[in-house]
């Protein structure tokens, strides 16, 4: 009789087989891929034993795409050789920086929302360029590991917004890579050093790369990494050090500038080599090869430090800023991690160590530390370490909220809120005697429900019938670590409750998220004007309903015929201002009509109130009357605090 093997849920039929997953550092200047092998994370090399791939892509007219070192050598075809495309990820045509426009690249900003480089192979966006780099890294990984990848963890700067993160995912999809997670670069560096195993503490990640500088503060608490604050300078990096050395060389030669771009590029390459030499040496010789044959200058460590000092000082300003923003003192920092090739400069390490008053961590190659951390996280997410309890906090991609009166959106959880999160808000009824409430859960950044995405609807019943605004309904939004949204409503007095679950990702594609974010930015001013109008219309409706109810019950008793006719005319004017075609409604006209109706009804309201007080006082002792009045005032105050948050029902 044959024996049947039954695998536990989630287990493979080959329990000792590792799933192949990698960590990718998609950098502005260089990119690399790493994986966990034999229990340790290692950066993977290509067939030429090169582990760092320059983030440079060349496109030719035949459709051939060249990436990395080979693309770097094609500087004579600068128009088709794209560098630093990461800076344009998630940007639209309006976001093109002047620095890009001053470059030799040509852009087509009319073919779509994304700016595209005009190349011999056609228009190429930053997503296309990044996809080519990711594809090369994928090939390197599969060749080195000997199998197909189940996915990759790709690192992004902590300050990347939703659009930039989405663009990174799109680039991975084009390259045929399954994204297991987008991981913040500073978090990856902390994971690489195993700081998640050192207990709770606050960690500083100092990242000085080729083109940008970032400083991030992370808090590790109960196994959870949280980004406290970030700061930096997007126009400060190793390239600036190289340019400063070139300027020094020009000064030594008595020159104001170089003749052409090729000459400057050649001298920048020589300056970069000198910078690397001075990491270990006290002086180096820089030869003006192909620019001024036979000329050479000696650069000492002291001269180099004098050149670099102003740039290093510039990095200290964001360091102070990030401490202030996070409300953290220097003595509270438990570790300082150095990331980026420019942190090899001895003066950088000295100044940062002195600033934070502790030794900096440099045990892991600063060029590799981010990729190594991403590889460790990829190994966990692939299921190779199921017992790991490290939690890396994600964020909500779009705001979550409820529909309120007038078709407005009341945002309860703003976008980019760290999850898991639970956040509640109190709402109330709109009409007298209301016993049920319809709750409409929406997602998006726009001010009107019609411009947002509907997620779910549910009803809360059995609300005790009371006057409008008296009920207290607590609505709670909860998003767990997997992105599952639960919305619940509770009426406090009766205990009536209802809830709804919304599936993870909320049914939105990544492209739809990007479109919604772009629409919210494009229509921000118009949306705020529409919201202001709708709020005024809701207020006017509330006034109309209150006046109409009072006239129906007591109008004949407290008003003469002329007084009643005058109020009726004011009501008609307000109704006319609140015309059905609200797109043409005038907010100021509605507001003026409301004020006129309130002023014209003052005597009527006063007479009703006096009559109510007389009825209340009849047959009561003074002390009983004072207690009743106090209770009435308290109720009125509570109602006023939530009247503007009424939910339709």
Positions marked catalytic:
25, 86, 185, 207
Tell me the HSE value of 451 on the side-chain side, using a 13 A CA sphere: 22
Q: Contact 217/326 with Cβ under 8 angstroms?
A: yes
- For the chain, the straight-line distance linking the first and the last C-alpha, in angstroms and rounded, comes to 66
How far is 84 from 63, CA to CA, in rounded Å? 21
Sequence-distant (6+) residues with CB within 8 A of 588 are none
Nearest to 557 by CA among 635, 615, 598: 615
* Dihedral sign, Cα of residue 181, residue 183, residue 187, residue 192: positive
Please state, in angstroms and as integers, the Cα–Cα distance from residue 583 to each residue in 448, 487, 531, 634, following that order: 13, 32, 12, 39
Burial of 86 (0-12, 13-18, 19+ CB in 10 A): buried
Please state, in angstroms and as integers, the Cα–Cα distance from residue 278 to each residue in 210, 271, 287, 302, 325, following that order: 17, 11, 15, 10, 35
Q: Which two tokens stand for residue 450?
A: 């019609």
Sequence-distant (6+) residues with CB within 8 A of 51 are 32, 43, 44, 45, 368
Q: Contact 410/645 with Cβ under 8 angstroms?
A: yes
Sequence-distant (6+) residues with CB within 8 A of 602 are none
3-state class of 124 per DSSP? strand
Cis? peptide before 420, omega within 30° of 0: yes
Q: Which two tokens stand for residue 126?
A: 């930053």
Bin 90: left if φ > 0, else alpha if -120 < ψ < 50, else beta.
left
Q: Contact 393/226 with Cβ under 8 angstroms?
A: yes
Nearest to 126 by CA among 149, 160, 77, 159: 160
Q: Contact 215/322 with Cβ under 8 angstroms?
A: yes
**Residue 65: how many other CB atoms lie within 10 Å:** 18
* DSSP codes, 193-212: TTGGGS-SEEEEEEEE-SS-
Q: Between the CA atoms of 637, 638, 644 and 649, what dihedral angle is there, to the nearest 10 degrees?
A: -140
How far is 647 from 475, CA to CA, in rounded Å? 11
């Amino acid at each position: 009789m044959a024996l049947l093997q039954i695998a536990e849920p989630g287990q493979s039929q080959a329990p000792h087989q590792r799933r192949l997953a990698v960590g990718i550092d998609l950098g502005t200047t260089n990119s690399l891929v790493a994986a966990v092998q034999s229990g340790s994370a290692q950066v993977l090399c290509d067939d030429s034993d090169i582990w760092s791939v320059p983030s440079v892509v060349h496109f030719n007219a035949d459709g051939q795409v060249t990436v990395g070192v080979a693309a770097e050598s094609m500087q004579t075809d600068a128009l088709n050789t794209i560098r630093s495309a990461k800076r344009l990820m998630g940007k639209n045509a309006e976001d093109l920086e002047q620095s890009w426009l001053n470059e030799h690249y040509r852009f087509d900003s009319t073919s779509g929302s994304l700016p595209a480089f005009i190349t011999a192979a056609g228009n190429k966006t930053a997503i296309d360029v990044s996809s080519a780099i990711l594809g090369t890294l994928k090939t390197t990984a599969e060749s080195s590991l000997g199998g197909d990848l189940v996915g990759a963890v790709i690192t992004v700067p902590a300050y990347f917004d939703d659009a930039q993160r989405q663009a990174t995912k799109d680039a991975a999809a084009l390259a045929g890579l399954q994204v297991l997670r987008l991981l913040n670069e500073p978090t990856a560096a902390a994971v690489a050093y195993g700081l998640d195993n050192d207990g709770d503490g606050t960690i500083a990640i100092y990242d000085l790369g080729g083109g940008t500088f970032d400083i991030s503060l992370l808090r590790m608490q109960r196994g959870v990494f949280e980004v406290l604050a970030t700061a930096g300078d997007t126009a400060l990096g190793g390239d600036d050090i190289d340019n400063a050395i070139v300027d020094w060389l020009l000064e030594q030669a008595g020159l104001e500038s170089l003749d052409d771009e090729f000459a400057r590029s050649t001298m920048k390459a020589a300056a970069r080599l000198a910078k690397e030499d001075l990491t270990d040496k006290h002086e180096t010789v820089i030869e003006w090869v192909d620019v001024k044959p036979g000329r050479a200058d000696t650069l000492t460590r002291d001269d180099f430090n004098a050149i670099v000092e102003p740039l290093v000082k510039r990095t200290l300003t964001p360091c102070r800023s990030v401490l202030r923003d996070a409300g953290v003192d220097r003595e509270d920092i438990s570790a300082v991690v150095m990331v980026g090739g420019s942190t090899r400069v001895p003066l950088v390490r000295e100044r940062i160590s002195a600033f934070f008053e502790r030794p900096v961590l440099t045990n892991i190659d600063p060029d590799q530390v981010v990729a190594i951390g991403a590889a460790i996280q990829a190994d966990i997410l692939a299921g190779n370490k199921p017992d790991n309890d490290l939690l890396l906090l994600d964020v909500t991609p779009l705001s979550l909220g409820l529909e309120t009166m007038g078709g407005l959106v009341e945002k309860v959880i703003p976008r980019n809120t760290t999850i898991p999160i639970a956040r509640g808000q109190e709402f109330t009824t709109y009409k007298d005697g209301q016993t049920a409430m319809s709750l409409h859960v929406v997602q998006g950044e726009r001010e009107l429900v019609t411009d947002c995405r509907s997620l779910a609807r549910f009803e809360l019943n059995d609300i005790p019938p009371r006057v409008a605004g008296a009920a207290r309904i607590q609505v709670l939004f909860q998003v767990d670590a997997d992105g599952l949204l639960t919305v619940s409503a509770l009426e406090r007095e009766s205990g009536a409750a209802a809830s709804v679950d919304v599936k993870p990702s909320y049914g939105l594609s990544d492209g739809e998220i990007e479109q919604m974010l772009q629409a919210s930015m494009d229509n921000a001013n118009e949306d705020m004007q529409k919201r202001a109008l709708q709020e005024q219309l809701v207020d006017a409706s509330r006034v109309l309903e209150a006046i109409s109810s009072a006239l129906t019950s007591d109008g004949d008793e407290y008003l003469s015929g002329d007084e009643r006719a005058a109020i009726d005319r004011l009501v008609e004017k307000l109704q006319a201002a609140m015309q059905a075609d609200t797109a043409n409604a005038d907010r100021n006209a509605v507001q003026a009509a409301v004020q006129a109706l309130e002023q014209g009804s003052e005597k009527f309201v006063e007479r009703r109130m006096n009559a109510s007080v007389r009825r209340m006082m009849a047959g009561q002792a003074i002390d009983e009357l004072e207690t009743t009045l106090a209770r009435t005032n308290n109720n009125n105050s509570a109602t006023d605090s939530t009247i503007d948050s009424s939910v339709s029902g």
